[in-house]
Amino acid sequence: MSIDTRALLYLVAAVAFILGLKRLGSPRTARSGNTIAAAGMLMAVIVTLVDAEVSWSILGPGLAVGALLGGFTAVRVQMTAMPQLVAAFNGFGGIASALVAGAEFVKADGLELPTETMISIIVSVLIGAITFTGSFVAYAKLQGLIGGSPVTFPGQKLFNGLLAIGVVTAGVFTQISQDPLPFWIIGAVALVLGVLAVIPIGGADMPVVIALLNSLSGMAAAATGFVISNSALIIGGALVGASGLILTKIMTEAMNRTLGNVLFGGFGVEAGASGPTGGDVTTTTPEDLAIALAYASQVVVVPGYGLAVAQAQHATREVASALEAKGVKVAYGIHPVAGRMPGHMNVLLAEADVPYDQLLDLDQTNNLLPRTDVVLVLGANDVVNPSARDDAGSPIYGMPIIEVDHAAMVVVIKRSLSPGFAGIDNPLFYRDGTRMLFSDAKQALTSLGSALEDV
């Protein structure tokens, strides 16, 4: 087929991506949207295979290995491990783009490449390689293979800066000399930069990092699109790049941080400054809680990642069902940073059969809370801390919170009074309207479930 026909067919694939992303805007249409995007991808692959002179001895085994590995992982992965999986897939996408650009450089074999092509190749290798190692450091942190705490050393920023300058210099040399050596140095330095960029970032900031790496994997694909002059790659890459950037912005805003602060701040190192404020807490029992819940008309559950760690999503859903059977309305108030990646908590609750119309975002929740009788805080801490709103001296001051103290009664189920991720004490626990239920979340919910049967 002619180059024009091919370009138009790639455009159809790109339109499929756009339609697919559009349909991802509503839970009703999202699944079909994903299918449309996948069909676009299949079409782009077929269009490529029709004309390109491919080497099947390389391509066949490559496709088979990749499809088996990707398919097996996708079917087997647990929903709690979704952030790691997305991080790993981001990394694979990034390195694939870098390798395609690298192969293009090798193909030129010393022949002078136009400056714009060379720049595209270098940008693609740089972003792709950083995405690769950065993603796998994020993967290791999320999977617990390495500690989640920030790793820093003296002069780290200066060292990273020097490496970045080195990459630019090597890039200029590559263009002038068309020599392979500076080119491979760029690739190697980019791999090191990816590790160094993510390793100083603490585990609690991983949602931001994954969103940013998501964006970078798109940018790498777009850069590769410039290398091989393919509009499908440019459009697909630009869409993903934009998507990742928006999610990054949403997550940093939800933490009241800037991107620069996340990347270079070393949060968690300075935290833990404020000691416990102390005071008396009021405790409650599953039996008393069951009565309060059963006679409520509106209950809001505020889950945190602690809920998923305790594998208590299903127990939560069972308590909610028991309450609904008694005519109590139940909703879930989900803070953007409740999970380990954007929207993670929603997926975990969806897996436990919670209908999506009960999953409220921050604003919806805060609008509902003044009309709420009982709020159940499960494994959440910093995202319900009133200090973020009231105490200008607090390290999390300014972070948008779920204002659970606007409800008539707050019940916090928690193992102990230990502070959360940020190491900040929570005055909510000592408030008059708050009841503490000290227990493992799953155990508490199970007792609560049986107590509800007797009400």
Partner 1 sequence: MPEVLSPVVVGVIVFVLAAFVGFELITKVPPTLHTPLMSGSNAISGITIVGAIIATGAGSGTLGSILAFVAVVTATVNVVGGFLVTDRMLGMFRKPKRAEDGK
List residues with catalytic annotation: 382
**Helix residue spans in 178-205 (DSSP H):** 180-198
Q: Distance between CA atoms of 46 and 38, rounded to whole angstroms?
A: 12
Which residue has 């009241």 as its token pair? 256
CA proximity to 287, closest of 101, 447, 153, 116:
447
Beta-carbon contacts of 198 under 8 Å, excluding residues fewer than 6 positions away, are 133, 134, 137, 138, 141, 209
Give the nearer residue to partner 1 in terms of CB position, either 54 or 455: 54
Q: Distance between CA atoms of 91 and 75, rounded to whole angstroms?
A: 19
Q: Distance between CA atoms of 14 and 20, rounded to whole angstroms?
A: 10
CB atoms within 10 A of CB 106: 10
Q: Going edge to edge, which strands form the sheet with 434-438?
A: 359-360, 329-333, 298-303, 374-378, 409-414, 434-438
Q: Distance between CA atoms of 173 and 302, rounded to whole angstroms?
A: 56
Surface-to-core class of residue 210, CB atoms within 10 Å of its CB (0-12 exposed, 13-18 middle, 19+ buried): buried
Report in angstroms how near the CB of residue 150 gets to partner 1 at its nearest.
23
Give the nearer residue to partner 1 in terms of CB position, either 108 or 146: 108
Q: Are strands 409-414 and 434-438 parallel, antiparallel or unpaired?
A: parallel
Give the nearer residue to partner 1 in terms of CB position, either 154 or 327: 327
CB atoms within 10 A of CB 17: 21
Q: Is the separation of the CB atoms in 362 and 384 below 8 Å?
A: no
Report in angstroms how near the CB of residue 194 gets to partner 1 at its nearest.
15
Give the nearer residue to partner 1 in terms of CB position, either 129 or 424: 129
Surface-to-core class of residue 24, CB atoms within 10 Å of its CB (0-12 exposed, 13-18 middle, 19+ buried): middle
Give the nearer residue to partner 1 in terms of CB position, either 300 or 424: 300
Q: Distance between CA atoms of 414 and 263, rounded to whole angstroms?
A: 31
Report in angstroms how near the CB of residue 13 gets to partner 1 at its nearest.
8
Q: Distance between CA atoms of 240 and 246, rounded to whole angstroms?
A: 10
Report in angstroms how near the CB of residue 161 gets to partner 1 at its nearest.
28
